Every structure is written in structure tokens, then in C-alpha cells.
Chain A
Amino acid sequence: MKNLGTVSRWAGALVLSAGLAALTAACGSTSSGSSATSSSSSSITVAVAYPAPPKALLAQFTKQTGIKVTWVNIGWDDLQTKIAAAAAANTYFADAADVDWSKVGEYQKTGWFYPLNTYFNVTSLKSDMPQLNTFISDNQLMGMPFDSSFLVTTVNTKDFAKAGITTMPTTLAGFTAALKKVGQVNGMASPLDIHFATAEGLSTCWYQMTAAFGGQVLTAQDTPAFTSPSSPGYQAMAWMVNAYKSGLVPKANINESDYQGFTTEMARNRVAAEMCDYSGSVASIYNVPSTSSVVNDTEYIPTPGATGVGHNVANPDGIGIPKTAKNVAGAVKFIEWFTNTENQATWAGLQGANNVVSTFPLPARLSSFTLMDKAGNIAQAGQLSTILQAHAQAPFPNGAPPWYVQFSASVQTNIHEAAAGQETVQQAVNAIAAQVSQLKSAG
């Protein structure tokens, strides 16, 4: 019975520990909640899927405005869930939050975010922000773009040069053949990085590959444009699935997030090319010596397409004000500051590496580009500028539909299943098309 007593004490101690842990967690929640509740005009919480600007610069904002900023950096997918859950429960979670290009129609319809037309002059902003229209739905500005971003093809020029390839192919057939050669020469079993995990990165990659094949996945009426085997959307999906099944893409990608792909596969030189990379990765990831072994070896190239250089899907990030915000005036001041010409250029490197926002792609304002061009400190400015002006296109002809979130969930799960061999490309296409029909009929 002595042993039983020991076990009972153990069990008792564990139960007590668990109880205390639960109590601590509960107290933590309460504390957090009260902190949110007590948010006054002198503080705001900013929730975005981005690292914070340097502390010294945030301190400058506080000094100028008297507003203290609490920066919450959450992963993109998790942040979208948090926004939806908080809005549905009508609870506070932040004063300024991420407004993704894909959510604009949804937020306009649900009314989860304040239209920003009241606080900003949309007409004058349009001339300086080429991607502002992406954030307008039904004439309402739902978010302010805080970067210019589009999907690009990045290659490791050193690996390609070893294989004797110095002129980059402009067609997908040529690029595929080149990759096979690069893989053989450099001892890479799978030289191409495309993400196949069930996450937003897989959906956007399909839109990008569809753009490379010369099309878009939905029509202007938001009907499927990918059901015919000759359509760019169908061909793009078939090409992606075949690239995975044939071993051109690492098998591990079926479960790896896009961020893991950038920071480990490409930056560690385990692959030689990335087809759905973010504009900005070269400066913010691959050329950072502490985390990369391919410093100065990577380069953006014009996206290889079906018959020549293809398009690039634009996916800028935006910031808006949730209806449950407690300090709207503070949030407006912060958005003004965060997106002004000088700061946009600063986040991209105008004032040196110490003042950049990590992973920041390109400024949202043309005036910021001008500042950086004058200072001569933007990597591959010519290439990026050409892509931005000539090849960057919105993923959807009519903006992201209000039911984008369900559409994207269907896209990513079905392409993932096709790559994993659980269904054919035709079945995946049919399933996504059926989902679109259902979503459209549901209104």
C-alpha cells in the first residue's frame, strides 16, 4: 500500500500541477483580455504576418504621435483564422490588421473591416500606388497596400552555370529540360521548389503557373476557366502535378510550408530554382549570410511561359482597421506612417540593412521606388521594375471573389491530393469546378 500511496501522491501532484497550469492559463487569458480592453488612445496593437520594423523606428513613431505600438507577428494562415474567429465572435484582437488581397471581397461583404475611404484620399493615392485597386471592392478601400509584391521565378545562377546554362530559358519546356540538367550536374535529385502542402502558398502557386501558361483560373464572371484540358489552368495543374510525381520537385514538399521552402531548400542550396517565389526573397532571405549559403548566387528571371515569357501574379499585402478596433484614430495614424513614401523605402533598404523589415519585398509607392533608384540600393531594380510594369497581373480578372477562402481551400486540398496520388488532375479540376458552382449558387 506504500507504493499506492506514492502513486496517489504523484497523481495528486500532477492533478494539482495541471490545475495550476489551467489556472495560470486562465489568468493569462484574463490578463490579456483586460490589456486589450484597457487599450487607450496611447496604444495600439498591430497584427500582421510580418516582422516588426526596427525598434528605434517604432520608437520614433511613438515619440511623434504618443502612440505605443504592440506588434504581433503571426503566420499568414493562422492570422486569417484569427481574424475570422475574432470578427465572428465580435471580439477585439487588434487595432490594425492584415488585409490580404484575397480577402478584400470577403471583408467588404461581411463588414469586418472599416472602409478606409473616410480616412484617406483614394484618388490621390491611386497615382502613387499601382496596386491600390486590388484593395478596392465595390468602391470601398478595405486595406492600404504596404508593399508591392508579385510571384517570381528565382534561380541559382551558379548551379545553372555549372550545367553550362547562362542564358535562361523563356519557355516551360526549355526550363524543365534545363532543370533536369542542373539536377544531374549538381547532384540534386529534385532541383525545383514548388510547395504542395495544403496552405495558401499552393493555391497562389497554381494561379502563378496559370499566369505563366497565359491565363487566369476564373473568368470575369467568376466561373471556372480551368476545366478544359487545353486551358492554361488545367495545363498549369497538370504541369505542377507531373513535376512533383516525376521527381523534379522534392517529395518532402508535400508537407512543407512555402516559408520552409524558401529558408531551407533554396537558401541551403538543396534546390536550384523556385517557381512561385516572392519578389524580395533574394534581398531578404537568400542574400542574408547568417541564414543562407547561396549569398549573391540567386537571381530573379522572367517567368518561363508556354510559348515565351509568362505573367507574374501580383499579391501585395495590405493593412486595415477591424470593426472591433478600440483605437481607430491611432490605427489611422499608424497606417499613414507605415505606408508613407520615406518609410516604405526604408523598409526595403533605403537606410541600410539595419532598418529593413525582414522579408519586405518592394515598396507600395512609386515615389519610394524613385527614392531608392536615386540612392541606387535596390537589388535588380531593372528586372523587378520591368516585371511590375509589364508582366504583373491580378490573379482574378474581377478581383478576389467574396467566397475566395472556400475556393482556395478547395484548390489547395485538391492539388495536394492529386500530387499525393489520391486523385487524378481531372478529378481535382472537377472537384474545384463543382465547388465554384456551389459557392456561386449559394450567393
Chain B
Amino acid sequence: MSAARRGRVLPYLLLSPLVVFIGALSFVPTADTAVEAFFRVMPLDPPNRFIGLGNFRALFADPTITISWVNTAAYVVIGVTASVVLGTAIAVALKQRFRLRGVVLALVILPWALPAVVEAVIWSWIYNPTVGVMNSALHSTHVIGGYHVWLGLDRWLTILLIEIVQVWQITPLSALIILAALQAIPLDLYEAARVDGAGAVQAFRRISLPLIRPALAVCAVEALVLSLNIFDQVYILNGIAPLGSSVMLQTYVTTFENLNFGGGYALSLLVTLATAVLSLAALALIYRRPEAA
């Protein structure tokens, strides 16, 4: 084999273990899920049999699943908006030079480094209606007259409070990505804008924002994928109650509580498709190459 040919083959050889790894652990199960979604798979009612779109029809006819889709849409809207806006604000603040900036940066990152389950447990104590910090703080500052039950009674309040926990977790990564993008912008541009009389807000709108759009797109897609697949926080803070249920939680309930594996496969497939379509849409909407912005 000639050196040139070896050079062409080498990248593929080096990548092949990764391709096999991802293929075995991701593509094969995905393909299996896609196939099984069209079968009735219930351990209580063997054997498995082909039922066409039966699982999907049952899912669309189930009001609990419908509620969970609407809830998930709310999780996504709150999650994407809040994490991108807060991430940008934190990144802009961290771009400034100030004492103990490194310490602040480390503290900001901490929620991202914690497992979602741990965070949900921490927040379950914050929201606890009897001994929670939230009631205690709001009551002692006279914001509320008496202790409240925050989760499980009001649908939209429950969703908002659960999503706050996820936003708390995913915002640090968004802030880091946006900070890196902000710091990559040549300082000459700001200097030129300042000479032309632009203020800080104008410089942010006309220079920073267009140039960090690729980073914003990445953050938005990351937040979208995570909030569309939200499970841990919902399960720990609100159990399997339909009131704040997400689609991923319903996938778990369908599969492991109701032992309807076919229905679970079908719901997983729908979530996967929704994630792919919405992620591509978000990228198309937000992503602009800097020169095109």
C-alpha cells in the first residue's frame, strides 16, 4: 500500500472503534426501538405481535400523554428561554475583570457538575411545604402570609418550579459557551464602535450578539434537548402525577409502571423525532455564521 493511500485510510481506521462503539450503543438500540414501536410488547401478554400503528393510536388517544406533551412544551419554552438569557447575562458579567473572578466562575459551574437527581433532592427540600427554605424565606420577609404547598396543586406553578431546577443545572454550561464566544470577539471592534459613539448596549446589540449567534444556537439546542427529555427533576419533585408530567416521565410510566414496552418504544420514537426536528429548526432559526450575521 502506498504512503498516500495509507494516509487516506488511516483516519477511517482511527475512527472505526468510535463508530463501532456508537453504533452498538446508540444506533442499534435506536433501530430496535423503531422496529419494536410497531409491535405489541407486553410481558404480561406474550408473545410479541405486529400491530402496525396501534401503539401510536393508543398514545394519541390517551389524555395523560396529551397533557404530558403540553407540559413538555412548557418545560422547553421556559428552559430554552431562561437558560439562554441567563447564560448570556452571566457570560457578559463574567467577561468583566474583577477580583475573585475565578472563584465566581467555579461557583457558577458547580450546578452543572452535580447530577440532576442530587439537584432535584436538594430542591425538594427547598420547596418542602413544611420545612422548606422557600416558605421560610418568603414568610419571614412577609412576601407570603402563610406556608404554601408549591408543587402538585397548581399545574403551571409546578412546571415553572420544576423547570427552574433544570435551568439552574444547564445554565452554567450555556454561560461558559457564550463566555468563550464573547472572548473570541476581537477587542478592536468594540474600540472602533466606542470611537464611533456607540454605548455598551449598542455595542452588545450590534457587535456581541451577532457574533455569538453560533454559540447561542448551540446553547439553545442543548437546552432544548435537555428540557424536552426532562425526567429526573419531574420524577423526584412531583412523582408520576400527570399534573406536571413530562413525555419522558410518561415513557417511563408506560414502560415500567404499566409494563407496556411497545407503547414505551413508540413514545420514545416520537420523542426522538421531536428532538431531532426541533433541534434542526432551532439551529436553522438561530445559527448564523459570523460573516453572514
Show the binding face of A for B, using Cβ within 8 Å. 1, 3-4, 6-8, 10-11, 14, 17-18, 81, 84-85, 87-88, 106, 109-110, 112, 197-199, 250-252, 254-255, 264, 270, 402-403, 405-406, 409, 412-413, 416-417, 420-422, 442-443
Contacts of B258 in A (CB 8 A): 405-406, 409
Please state if B184 and A403 are interface contacts (CB–CB under 8 Å): no
Please state if B152 and A14 are interface contacts (CB–CB under 8 Å): no
Chain A, residue nearest B46 (CB) = A110
Q: Does B238 contact A (CB under 8 A)?
A: yes
Given the known inter-chain contacts A3-B183, A255-B149, please indicate yes or no for A198 contacting B240, CB distance below 8 A.
yes
Given the known inter-chain contacts A405-B259, A406-B258, A443-B45, please indicate yes or no for A270 contacting B130, CB distance below 8 A.
yes
For chain B, the count of residues having a C-beta within 8 Å of the partner chain is 38
Chain A, residue nearest B238 (CB) = A255
In the assembled complex, the CB of B131 is this many whole angstroms from the nearest CB of chain A, namely 8
In the assembled complex, the CB of A291 is this many whole angstroms from the nearest CB of chain B, namely 15
Could you tell me the distance between the alpha carbons of A443 and B75 in the complex, rounded to whole angstroms?
37
Contacts of A254 in B (CB 8 A): 149, 151-153
Contacts of A405 in B (CB 8 A): 257-259
Given the known inter-chain contacts A88-B261, A106-B44, please indicate yes or no for A252 contacting B149, CB distance below 8 A.
yes
Q: Which of chain B's residues 238-255 have a Cβ closer than 8 Å to chain A?
A: 238-243, 253
Q: Does B256 contact A (CB under 8 A)?
A: yes
Could you tell me the distance between the alpha carbons of A198 and B43 in the complex, rounded to whole angstroms?
24
In the assembled complex, the CB of A120 is this many whole angstroms from the nearest CB of chain B, namely 26
In the assembled complex, the CB of B135 is this many whole angstroms from the nearest CB of chain A, namely 10
Q: Does B109 contact A (CB under 8 A)?
A: yes
Contacts of A18 in B (CB 8 A): 113
Q: Provide a sorted-by-A list of 18 A–B residue pairs whose CB atoms are within 8 angstroms.
A: A1-B183, A3-B95, A6-B102, A11-B180, A17-B113, A18-B113, A87-B43, A88-B259, A106-B44, A197-B152, A198-B241, A251-B129, A409-B240, A413-B64, A416-B152, A420-B241, A421-B153, A422-B155
Could you tell me the distance between the alpha carbons of A435 and B257 in the complex, rounded to whole angstroms?
14
Chain B, residue nearest A420 (CB) = B153
Q: Does B176 contact A (CB under 8 A)?
A: yes
Show the binding face of B for A, using Cβ within 8 Å. 42-45, 64, 95, 102, 105, 109, 112-113, 128-130, 149, 151-153, 155, 176, 179-180, 183-184, 237-243, 253, 256-261
Please state if A4 and B253 are interface contacts (CB–CB under 8 Å): no
Please state if A8 and B180 are interface contacts (CB–CB under 8 Å): yes
In the assembled complex, the CB of A86 is this many whole angstroms from the nearest CB of chain B, namely 11
In the assembled complex, the CB of B43 is this many whole angstroms from the nearest CB of chain A, namely 5
Chain A, residue nearest B63 (CB) = A431
Please state if B239 and A198 are interface contacts (CB–CB under 8 Å): yes
Given the known inter-chain contacts A106-B44, A199-B239, please indicate yes or no for A10 contacting B256, CB distance below 8 A.
no
Contacts of A402 in B (CB 8 A): 44
Given the known inter-chain contacts A11-B176, A14-B113, A403-B44, please indicate yes or no for A252 contacting B239, CB distance below 8 A.
no
Identify B243's interface contact among A1, A264, A422, A443, CB under 8 A: A422
In the assembled complex, the CB of A87 is this many whole angstroms from the nearest CB of chain B, namely 7
Please state if B129 and A110 are interface contacts (CB–CB under 8 Å): no
Interface contacts (Cβ under 8 Å), in number, total 101
Identify A251's interface contact among B64, B149, B180, B260, CB under 8 A: B149
Chain B, residue nearest A196 (CB) = B152
In the assembled complex, the CB of B56 is this many whole angstroms from the nearest CB of chain A, namely 17
Chain B, residue nearest A416 (CB) = B241
Chain A, residue nearest B41 (CB) = A88
Could you tell me the distance between the alpha carbons of A401 and B238 in the complex, rounded to whole angstroms?
28
13 new A-B pairs (CB below 8 Å) besides A109-B44, A403-B44? A7-B179, A7-B183, A14-B109, A17-B113, A110-B43, A197-B239, A255-B149, A406-B259, A409-B253, A417-B241, A417-B243, A420-B152, A421-B153
Given the known inter-chain contacts A198-B240, A402-B44, please indicate yes or no for A251 contacting B256, CB distance below 8 A.
no
In the assembled complex, the CB of A31 is this many whole angstroms from the nearest CB of chain B, namely 19
Could you tell me the distance between the alpha carbons of A81 and B239 in the complex, rounded to whole angstroms?
14
Please state if B183 and A413 are interface contacts (CB–CB under 8 Å): no
- Select the residue from B42, B109, B259 with max chain A CB neighbours within 10 A: B259
Identify A7's interface contact among B113, B176, B239, B241, CB under 8 A: B176
Could you tell me the distance between the alpha carbons of A347 and B138 in the complex, rounded to whole angstroms?
46
In the assembled complex, the CB of A97 is this many whole angstroms from the nearest CB of chain B, namely 16
- Select the residue from B105, B151, B183 with max chain A CB neighbours within 10 A: B183
In the assembled complex, the CB of B97 is this many whole angstroms from the nearest CB of chain A, namely 8
In the assembled complex, the CB of B76 is this many whole angstroms from the nearest CB of chain A, namely 22
Contacts of B105 in A (CB 8 A): 10
Contacts of A8 in B (CB 8 A): 180
Chain A, residue nearest B146 (CB) = A189
Please state if A409 and B180 are interface contacts (CB–CB under 8 Å): no
Could you tell me the distance between the alpha carbons of A251 and B239 in the complex, rounded to whole angstroms?
16
Contacts of B237 in A (CB 8 A): 255
Could you tell me the distance between the alpha carbons of A3 and B97 in the complex, rounded to whole angstroms?
9
In the assembled complex, the CB of A194 is this many whole angstroms from the nearest CB of chain B, namely 15
Please state if A417 and B242 are interface contacts (CB–CB under 8 Å): yes
Contacts of A11 in B (CB 8 A): 176, 180
Chain B, residue nearest A406 (CB) = B258
Contacts of B113 in A (CB 8 A): 14, 17-18
Contacts of B261 in A (CB 8 A): 88
Chain B, residue nearest A3 (CB) = B183
In the assembled complex, the CB of A295 is this many whole angstroms from the nearest CB of chain B, namely 21
Please state if A264 and B130 are interface contacts (CB–CB under 8 Å): yes
Contacts of B149 in A (CB 8 A): 251-252, 254-255
In the assembled complex, the CB of B26 is this many whole angstroms from the nearest CB of chain A, namely 15
Could you tell me the distance between the alpha carbons of A173 and B260 in the complex, rounded to whole angstroms?
42
Contacts of A251 in B (CB 8 A): 129, 149, 153
Please state if B43 and A255 are interface contacts (CB–CB under 8 Å): no
Could you tell me the distance between the alpha carbons of A6 and B106 in the complex, rounded to whole angstroms?
12
In the assembled complex, the CB of B85 is this many whole angstroms from the nearest CB of chain A, namely 20
Closest 4 CB pairs of A and B: A252-B129, A4-B183, A254-B152, A198-B239
Contacts of B95 in A (CB 8 A): 3
In the assembled complex, the CB of B232 is this many whole angstroms from the nearest CB of chain A, namely 13
